[in-house]
Amino acid sequence: MSNCCQDKSCEVETLRRSQSNTLWIVLGINALVFGGEVVVERRHTGIG
């Protein structure tokens, strides 16, 4: 019973890496959408 947390450390590390990768992908998509919105807004208002 004392090794309960020790046995799951590999699973937790794998989950952490997976979630980290997912967050970076979502951040990249968010940045692309934001950049697209800036471009469209500038074209619409005639700035740039």
Q: What is the DSSP string of 9-28?
A: HHHHHHHHHHHHHHHHHHHH
Backbone angles phi, psi at 3, to 5 degrees: -95, 10
The predicted structure's pLDDT at residue 10: 85
Answer whether residue 15 is part of any domain: no
Tell which wins on pLDDT, 29 or 46. 29
* Confidence check: pLDDT of 2 > 90: no
Residue 18 falls inside a structural domain: no
**Residue 4 included in any domain:** no
The confidence band for 4, taking pLDDT boundaries of 50, 70 and 90, is low
Q: Read off the pLDDT of residues 19-37 as tens digits, 9 standing for 90 and up.
A: 999 999 999 999 999 999 9
Residue 7 domain-assigned (yes or no): no
3 lies in a domain?
no
Please report the pLDDT score of residue 28 as a whole number: 98
Q: How many domains does the chain have?
A: 1
For residue 31, give its domain range: 24-48
